[in-house]
Amino acid sequence: MTPTTSLDTGRNRYWFVFGGVLLLVAMIVGTMIGPAGPTWWRIPLEFLNRLPFIRIDSGVSEQDWNIVWLIRTPRVVLAAIVGSMLSISGASYQGVFRNPLVDPYLLGVAAGAVLGATLVFAFQRGATEN
């Protein structure tokens, strides 16, 4: 095993910055796409308009902004959180078992998820009937 050099650390830093920028771009694009609300290119302008000391006339009405801010943005943020948790859990599995081909079926996590989903569906059905 070779020690990590400062050159390797610098490369890793660039990958983290690139990944963060790519995640931010994907989140902005995710908020721009939707069947209702303002035209897609107006949304980044409105995000800039909402920053302090910046004034840009984006032409987005308050109703359209509510669609973007209250409906689209929470879904995009939740998708980013779920995706990051899945990647962390997958990397953890690979690190613990030292096997890049490990999957959730190895320890029965997938079966537990199926059981949880089944319980949610069963109790949700019973709750709506009352």
Mean pLDDT, range 34-55, rounded to an integer:
92
Q: What pLDDT score does 72 carry?
A: 95
Query: What are the residue ranges spanned by the domains of the chain?
Result: 11-99, 105-130
pLDDT digits (tens, 9 = 90+) for 79-108: 999 999 989 988 998 999 898 888 888 888
Q: What pLDDT score does 55 carry?
A: 92
Q: What percent of the chain has pLDDT over 90?
A: 62
Q: Report CA-CA distances (Å) from 70 to 24, 29, 38, 75, 101.
A: 18, 16, 14, 9, 39
Does residue 5 register a pLDDT over 90? no
Does residue 7 register a pLDDT over 60? no
